[in-house]
Chain A
């Protein structure tokens, strides 16, 4: 392996999210020093992932089958869909484990500045899914930044004409959070969304 090849390997690894040049160098050296224990199994896993892992045609989750195991599961509530931006959000909800409905992965948020429009996300597929499957509730679990709020609003507007309840996650004081450290927007939203405890 010439220096050029090592450099190009480091370069490819440094393109992965969360990795800088130094981390990429460390990983490259580790893999090259532990070929049989680390590099070969990694190549095999990557090949398997490339061959077998596909997007679910219904919810856009990743799995080895389509529809995915979540969409096919009989133990889940098939009348509720939770809309998330990305697969990592689905994993977060699944790790916690209290939500037993279905998912729909949008693939991002609307952003005209970044060239992400309605057709680049799975919004129209969500609308059709709600129409075709007699869905009773759509939970919008998107980011609370401006793009996330816009996307939630657009989806809610598009679902308005259908017989479906549309909800979004609550915003306010986090559990275990100290009040004095909260920013003013969070406090004002928490005040507006306060509820009676008696």
Chain B
């Protein structure tokens, strides 16, 4: 079992100096709107790469009332009786704020890589209730987050791919782009794009298998299946010549892409669709509450994958999870909390909404 044992916030968001210790399984933060429940989740999420669950700028995380120019988050992470000291601090360099993470008092990358590979954060935010009604990019980002949980190098791959797409766009704006240069960029896009397609496909297959396994054990769960919709890759039956076809299509689209200012094909255009296998309906046709159940089922299946196949410890955030919480949703949450050894953080305005949880949960009133 791996978990965050405590957290200390200094000048972070609405907190001046705040300490909280956590239960290794279920933690409930309740309090009025604006009391800072999500801020605590955000502070924990900063220990992963990136700018946390809100993807906000670091300068916005500094408590403005304290007239200070930095924030600090201190925590202890427990991994099989070993305690890892964590310290995260904002730092202003070249007029840009960035975060510095010390693992066991050291900023060495080896220490951070070791810590990073001990756990994976998964979060459910209120806006994700309508994920199947939102734009494809929201679903794509959700899928990419899940893939990243299983493979930490995936984010580098996405970054390189996006860099190449922007490079190609800029090059196409030139009056006469150099043939060798644009060919090389398109070769890179093909190599990186195919890798992204493969990683997403492998993950979706394992997720669908795990969702199927869940259906076998839990009769009241929805029988859902996810698939990737992509205008390019879905049309190709024989994938032996995929590289050639991808490259030819990119070259063919140059004029169109130059006018539109984008890239018409590639994994950055994919969408993630889902179907209910019993009713044979697309998931976006279901109610908001049912869509929430789909997401919870996906998170449950995902946690199973991380534990069984990757030996990674999922740590799950459920922000404002109580709306639309029917029996099915409660059953999934209880499954996550009771049967999986997973540290969970739940937030809500009222502690009575969490009465379905066992008495072992750690209730914290945030004021």
Contacts and interface: CB of A to CB of B under 8 A. Distances in A.
A146 B166 CA distance: 13
Contacts of B195: none
Contacts of B96: none
B171 interface: yes
B178 A111 contact: no
Contacts of A157: 180, 183-184
A110 B164 contact: no
Contact of B110 (A146, A154, A158, A181): A181
A184 B157 CA distance: 13
A90 interface: no
Contacts of A110: 181
A118 B167 contact: no
Given A118-B178, A146-B160, A154-B178, A113 B170 contact: yes
B178 A117 contact: yes
Interface in B180-194: 180-181, 183-185, 188
Interface in A124-166: 146, 150, 153-154, 157-158
Interface string A93-135: 0000000000000000011110101100000000000000000
Nearest to B183: A157
A146 B163 contact: yes
User: Contact size class for A?
Assistant: 10 to 19
B180 A154 contact: yes
Nearest to B184: A153
Contacts of A181: 110
Nearest to A114: B170
Contact of A184 (B110, B153, B168, B174): B153
Given A112-B174, A181-B110, A150 B166 contact: no
A115 B174 CA distance: 10
Nearest to B179: A157
Interface string B309-329: 000000000000000000000
23 contacts: A110-B181, A111-B167, A112-B167, A112-B168, A112-B169, A112-B170, A112-B171, A112-B174, A112-B185, A113-B163, A113-B166, A113-B167, A115-B170, A117-B174, A118-B178, A118-B181, A146-B164, A150-B167, A150-B185, A150-B188, A154-B178, A154-B184, A157-B180
B181 A150 contact: yes
Contacts of A117: 174, 178
A181 B180 CA distance: 36
What 5 pairs between A and B have smallest CB-CB spacing?
A112-B170, A157-B180, A112-B171, A153-B184, A154-B180
B174 A150 contact: no
Contacts of B181: 110, 118, 150, 154
A178 to B, nearest CB: 11
Contacts of B153: 184
Contacts of B184: 150, 153-154, 157
Nearest to B163: A146
Contacts of A154: 178, 180-181, 184
A153 B188 CA distance: 11
Interface string B30-54: 0000000000000000000000000
A146 B188 contact: yes
B195 to A, nearest CB: 13
A113 B164 CA distance: 9
Contacts of B164: 146
B44 to A, nearest CB: 27
Query: Which of A112, A118, A181 has the most CB atoms of chain B within a 10 A radius of its CB?
Result: A112
Contacts of A112: 167-171, 174, 185
Contacts of A153: 180, 184
Query: Which of B110, B153, B184, B188 has the most CB atoms of chain A within a 10 A radius of its CB?
Result: B184
A111 B167 CA distance: 7
Contacts of A111: 167
A146 B188 CA distance: 9
B257 to A, nearest CB: 13
A110 B184 CA distance: 11
Nearest to A181: B110
B308 to A, nearest CB: 23
Query: Which of B153, B170, B181 has the most CB atoms of chain A within a 10 A radius of its CB?
Result: B181
Contacts of B167: 111-113, 150
A186 to B, nearest CB: 13
Contacts of B174: 112, 117
A139 B171 CA distance: 26
Interface in A49-88: none
A115 B183 CA distance: 18
Contacts of A118: 178, 181
A146 B170 CA distance: 16
Nearest to A118: B178
